[in-house]
Amino acid sequence: MNETQAPKGEGEAREPGRRLEPGDDQARELDLDLDLDHGLASPTLAQLYLAQGHPGRARTICREVLADDPTNGYALALLERLRRASAARLEARLEARFVPSSEAGIELGAGELELSWSVPRGLLAEYDDARVDVVLAIAAPRATLVPQPTTLRYTSLRCLDLQATARREAPLGPASAAAILVLSPGPQRKPTLLSPRPRRPGLRVLAVAESLSW
């Protein structure tokens, strides 16, 4: 007597302790079940998409869940995780350090300031004609025979490359310096009926280096 065989996959128990891979039949069945259930299972589907390297799909699913249930803790937590990961990839970096000219320069405070920066290209995507500069504020006493109060002077360095290192001559110590990485969004905006005078977009601080003294 011929017995009717059950379709492959039906009635089969998942092997205990085995992790589902994206290409497994059981994983496909799980994806199908989650697609059909847009309620409780949707955050789990977003987790699967994220694990498979699709953060955009995971973000879309989380937003759909929150549209129906704004207090869904799983979707809120995952969306915040995605936001932080995206912000980390678009984080600019700026480092500053004093490089003495020689061993004697360490004692005399003679040397150069070394500036290293890195700007992700994605930070400039929304601007047509943006530029990036390093702005330095240096505090040092005046070079006179009679002691004078400490003076503060500013200088800037245009960053022609998104990732580079440059050096600038440092005043004799004792002195200190602070550096910031600044984005200038573009040229002046054209006058309009609501704003008859041309306006220049505000500056945006991308990164701040640790202050240093020598």
Please tell me the distance from the alpha carbon of residue 184 to that of residue 205, in angstroms, as a whole number.
Answer: 9
Measured at the CA of 87, the angle between CA 84 and CA 91, to 5 degrees, comes to 135
Question: Is 22 in a helix, a strand, or coil?
Answer: coil
Question: Is 45 in a helix, a strand, or coil?
Answer: helix
Q: Is the pLDDT of residue 209 over 60?
A: yes
Query: What domains can you pick out in the chain, each with its CATH number?
Result: 25-89 (no CATH), 93-213 (2.60.40)
**What is the pLDDT confidence band of residue 173, given thresholds at 50, 70 and 90?**
confident
Contact 136, 149 (CB under 8 A): no
| Cβ-based neighbour number of residue 20 at 10 Å | 16
Please tell me the distance from the alpha carbon of residue 100 to that of residue 175, in angstroms, as a whole number.
Answer: 13
Q: Is the pLDDT of residue 97 over 70?
A: yes
- The pTM (predicted TM-score) of the whole model is 0.52
Residue type, 73: G
Question: What pLDDT score does 17 carry?
Answer: 44
- Which range, of 99-108, 156-165, 200-209, averages the lowest pLDDT? 99-108
- Which range, of 26-35, 54-63, 70-79, averages the lowest pLDDT? 26-35
**What is the pLDDT confidence band of residue 64, given thresholds at 50, 70 and 90?**
confident
Kindly state the average pLDDT of the residues 107-134.
83
Contact 136, 177 (CB under 8 A): yes
Please name the residues in contact with 198: beta carbons below 8 A apart, sequence gap of 6 or more. 188, 189, 190, 191
**What is the pLDDT confidence band of residue 195, given thresholds at 50, 70 and 90?**
low
Range picked from 13-17, 31-35, 54-58, 175-179 for highest mean pLDDT: 175-179
